[in-house]
Structure 1
Amino acid sequence: MGTNADNARLVAAAVTKYIGTKDKWPTSGGYGERVDLALINAPLTIQAKFGSQQKDGTFNGVRGAVERYRNAYRDLDSGWLEHLANQDEQHLIALTNKGKLNGQRSKASAIIESAGAFVGRGLETRDEILADIESARSAYVGVKGLGNWTFEYFTMLIGEESAKPDIWITRFTSRALGRQVSHAEAFELVKGGCEGAGVRFVRAGSRHLVVRQHQPPTRHAGNSRLASRLLRRRLAVELTCDPLTPRCPDDRHSPS
């Protein structure tokens, strides 16, 4: 199986080979100061599609839910988490969606409770949350149905160097090592692999390190150079799939 360092080097090589060097990585600021939007986004992605743009210019999926909330409170310029914590559950469901967690609790109710938990600890802004990550983590995972992986994703969406080890990241690391890895191992190996490759660990806004296929697209198999270029382009798009980018892969197998 190799040592952790050996495995991290293999992942680093895969990052460089299939995704490219850090100077070719487009970046995003995620949601910036809008911690409420990040806190809505993270739980909603549990076993859900992120969303795509429709013909009328609106979005479906998780992105559509976040954008509806943003548009409803466009003039809100502070007190974001307190405002979210005071939402009525049914009203938030109507604004976002009817998604439920495993215990059949609505995701909206968990979002409202987590916002209240942050406010109760005096963690109301991006800087306050990032300055006391472990207190913020405790507040978040203390909400029934929410766990460490969506907390990591939440912090990534507001600028922390982190990742959500969903099916795409575990698939990437599993293929890099030639064996199945757990969510926890994938998280640590991607972190170590990115550090080994000399890149920042899954930059804010980059939702996935993705290798859905190592083979070139079938219809271009006869032209290896074109197939390789198309594959790199596809991976670059998926790497930078973020709250501001509509072209995102299915996230139905996300851990909480």
Structure 2
Amino acid sequence: MNLRDIDLRKLNSITKYPSIPTYHVMGDGGRLTEERQVTFDGEVYLSEKVDGTNSRLIVSPDGDYIIGSREELLHARGDRIWNPSMGIVDAVRPVAERFFSGEGWTSAVMVLFMETYGGNVGGSAKQYTGSKAVSVRLFDVIVFDGQLEEMARKSPEEIAAWRESGGQPFVPSAHTEAHTEGLGIEPTPRLGVVDASEIPASIADTAEWLASKLDRTRCAIDAGAGGAPEGIIARSADRSRIAKLRFKDYRRTLKGKR
């Protein structure tokens, strides 16, 4: 399907990254409760959560592409002007151009979700760079196989409900990187695959487990990086369940219990 044939407002909604729930339910004052919001079974894939800004690259078989932030579309291939918001287009555009240089062709419309980080992006930028350098990391991929045309005929309300209920066709957790080979973009660091039974249920035990899995960021851009990590993303093997575990949430919660 040609990207130019789709209402841009609908395309923006169809390809927008859904909210990731916290592993434990977030209560009052930004403190977690002991109730788990997401539970897993079987294999769980762990990766580092990078503190940057959500970016997306939509590519189609005809060589067209669109770059966007989490909330809006910023630039399309051939545009003379692009939105400089958060440095996303400058960071992602080289990946987009490499995609159609013969190294990363696609037979379907795909959406690559990346984190643009470093530079002046967010309060944690100094944890990744001491020279204000900017980088991108891939963390999820969608491959549309007929669903895009179908969803483009839906109402905005139907699209939003479909997206937030897990309707987007994400690539299984183990296969994400295979879709970007040769593009020169690294994935968010993979921290291993664990059985769901290894992830603790209580807040105190989860905080300890979190620290044991990631004591320093693996996404440092240069030697001047502060190195403090933001957290971990946990995904089920089929990518149907996903949760975020942020160090600051557990620190804040445990501090409030003392």
- TM interval, short-chain normalised: under 0.3
Higher helix proportion? 1
- TM-score for the superposition, normalised by structure 1: 0.24
- TM-score for the superposition, normalised by structure 2: 0.24
Higher strand proportion? 2
